[in-house]
Chain A
Amino acid sequence: DIQMTQSPSSLSASVGDRVTITCRASQSISTYLHWYQQKPGKAPKLLIYAASSLQSGVPSRFSGRGSGTDFTLTISSLQPEDFATYYCQQSYSSSCTFGQGTKVEIK
């Protein structure tokens, strides 16, 4: 199995802050990496696919970078609706895996 490790597990930030979440794969996965946002009681929503491509309808303040084993999700200016849990997921292997999640909370 390819293990995905996110850091931090949680963070506190204020509206307007720049926030960066890191995801590391246990082996190289090229750019087969996607990011999801999940709000309480809701299904996850695809934000970024192929490491850096913005899903249709997702605000441009979200961006993704990386390839190989190290990836980042950045929110350039945190908005009230961005407080949620974020997950990375690899699709390099036919058995996909998620990171453990990063909860973004209001400071």
Chain B
Amino acid sequence: QVQLQESGPGLVKPSQTLSLTCSVSGDSISSGSDYWSWIRQPAGKGLEWIGRAHPSGSANYNPSLKSRVTISVDSSKNQFSLNLRSVTAADTAVYYCARVKFLTVAGGYGMDVWGQGTTVTVSS
């Protein structure tokens, strides 16, 4: 079955760029109409959608983060990545990657496979 695994630094300094990678196994990242997404969750708080990208190059982002975020898909490596620039302590969170699959005409896209999450702390 499809599995996702996040990787990247657990500690990032303020004003620097947070970079994470999600490795996909059990499926080709460029097959079908799937998007690939990043979601984050500060400790004790709810889920915040960061954005999604398609292997074709199209992407959509949370308006509140759009100016600082880039999500890209690398089909040759079967992985996708998140870059979040100019981070502050407010960006400290567990970061999840997820597959965004077209589920039905009536429901559109949903996140049906998730990685286990990786904790990123922004601190000097």
Contacts and interface: CB of A to CB of B under 8 A. Distances in A.
Interface of A: 1, 30-34, 36, 38, 42-46, 49-51, 53, 55, 87, 89, 91-92, 94-101
Contacts, number: 77
A42 B96 CA distance: 10
Contact of A44 (B47, B52, B60, B104): B47
A94 B60 CA distance: 6
B63 A87 contact: no
B7 interface: no
B10 to A, nearest CB: 16
24 contacts: A30-B106, A32-B106, A38-B47, A42-B116, A43-B96, A46-B112, A49-B104, A50-B107, A50-B108, A50-B110, A51-B106, A53-B107, A87-B46, A87-B47, A89-B111, A91-B109, A91-B110, A94-B60, A95-B60, A96-B49, A98-B47, A98-B49, A100-B46, A101-B47
Interface in B50-65: 52, 60-63
Given A31-B107, A50-B103, 14 more contacts: A1-B63, A43-B96, A44-B39, A46-B112, A50-B104, A53-B107, A89-B49, A91-B107, A91-B110, A94-B60, A95-B49, A96-B49, A97-B49, A98-B47
Contacts of A31: 106-107
B8 interface: no
Interface of B: 39, 46-49, 52, 60-63, 96, 103-104, 106-112, 114-117
Nearest to B6: A43
A87 B103 CA distance: 18
Contacts of A33: 107
A89 B98 CA distance: 14
A53 B60 contact: no
A81 B112 CA distance: 20
